[in-house]
């Protein structure tokens, strides 16, 4: 059992962490995923979402089985009888049986989330490879370096965040420096983002793509600020006089150039005309905060 547990943990740790967290309007699910066809985040039922990390073929089979279980339960009884807690318990029994009886355990971790009428009714459950279930209030990070991502997310998370604030917190946690000390920067094409929207009726699951995802990325990244003081100090250190100042050796307001003891030489345009280009360190280009072209 210990060997199987170590095997499963190492397989799951090779992937990238995913994040699920509550915000004022519902539940946000974010996963680094460069593929546009193989999804880590999906819909299970009307108000229930699914996210997983690990081996794709294994958690895709679990996702399909969970959809079938939810559909049959809703058809035999009532749609309100399908809950995230019931699906999480079913996944726990299935994974526990596989871990105990199968020679190879599933290398997966699963999160089942359900959005309620109010934030106090939201439910987030994490199911591990051995069938263990934990109720995660507020947020959860799973897969990959989950402990490190969870610690970074805990510093940014707060109740009643907006969607932009929740996405910025999730992106900051997923981009936290890893073991090599380098911070990961994600583009829109490298992220899979979905929400369970509390305001929508019936089916609440919705993916965030293209232009809307670019807007969230632009809002989550810090805006660069100009530093004019640094530009002035660099100009003084290079020996150039500010535009409009009188030359050395002449009285203020006088247009007569200073006399020199050497032979006279023809003056160059730079000696008699003020500079017309941009200030040192300045730029006539935009800030480039449009986030790039939409995918």
Tens of pLDDT, residue by residue over 23-60, are 999 999 999 999 989 999 999 999 999 999 999 999 99
Type and span of the H or E element at 70: helix 56-76
Please tell me the predicted confidence (pLDDT) of residue 184.
Answer: 81
Please tell me the predicted confidence (pLDDT) of residue 182.
Answer: 66
pTM of the full predicted structure? 0.74
SS (H, E, C) 137-167: CCEEEECCCHHHHHHHHHHHCCCCCCHHHHH
Please tell me the predicted confidence (pLDDT) of residue 176.
Answer: 82
DSSP secondary structure of 207-242:
EE-HHHHHHHHHHHSPPP---HHHHHHHHHHTTPPP
Please tell me the predicted confidence (pLDDT) of residue 250.
Answer: 44
Neighbours of 38 (CB within 10 A): 11
Please tell me the predicted confidence (pLDDT) of residue 104.
Answer: 94
Crossing angle of helices 146-156/163-174, nearest 10°? 140
Contacts of 190 (CB under 8 A, 6+ apart): 32, 33, 34
CB-CB contact of 131 with 92 (8 Å)? yes
DSSP class of residue 192?
E
Type and span of the H or E element at 174: helix 163-174
pLDDT tens per residue, range 265-279: 444 444 444 444 444
Terminal Cα-to-Cα distance of the chain (whole angstroms)? 46
Taking 50 as the pLDDT cut, the residues of the chain under it are 227-295
Tokens matching residue 102: 């199968």
């Amino acid at each position: 059992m210990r060997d199987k547990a170590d095997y499963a943990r190492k397989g799951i740790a090779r992937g990238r962490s995913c994040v699920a967290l509550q915000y004022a309007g519902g539940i946000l699910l974010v996963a680094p995923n460069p593929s546009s066809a193989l999804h880590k985040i999906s819909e299970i039922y009307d108000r229930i979402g699914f996210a997983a990390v690990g081996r794709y073929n294994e958690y895709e089979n679990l996702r399909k089985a969970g959809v079938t279980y939810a559909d049959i339960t809703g058809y035999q009884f009532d749609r309100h009888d399908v809950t995230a807690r019931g699906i999480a318990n079913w996944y726990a029994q299935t994974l526990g049986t596989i871990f105990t009886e199968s020679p190879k355990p599933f290398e997966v971790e699963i999160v089942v989330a359900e959005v309620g009428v109010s934030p106090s009714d939201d439910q987030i459950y994490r199911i591990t490879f051995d069938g263990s279930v934990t109720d995660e209030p507020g947020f959860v990070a799973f897969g990959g370096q989950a402990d490190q991502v969870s610690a970074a997310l805990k510093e940014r998370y707060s109740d009643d965040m907006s969607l932009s604030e929740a996405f910025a917190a999730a992106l900051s946690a997923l981009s936290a420096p890893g073991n090599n000390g380098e911070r990961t920067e994600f583009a829109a094409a490298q992220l899979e983002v979905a929400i369970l929207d509390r305001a929508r009726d019936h089916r609440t699951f919705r993916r965030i793509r293209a232009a809307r995802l670019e807007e969230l990325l632009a809002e989550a990244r810090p805006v660069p600020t100009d530093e004019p003081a640094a530009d002035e100090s660099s100009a003084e250190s290079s020996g150039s006089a500010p535009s409009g100042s009188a030359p050395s050796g002449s009285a203020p307001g006088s247009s007569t150039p200073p006399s020199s003891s050497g032979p006279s030489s023809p003056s160059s345009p730079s000696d008699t005309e003020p500079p017309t280009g941009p200030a040192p360190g300045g730029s006539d280009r935009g800030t480039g905060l449009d986030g790039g072209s939409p995918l």
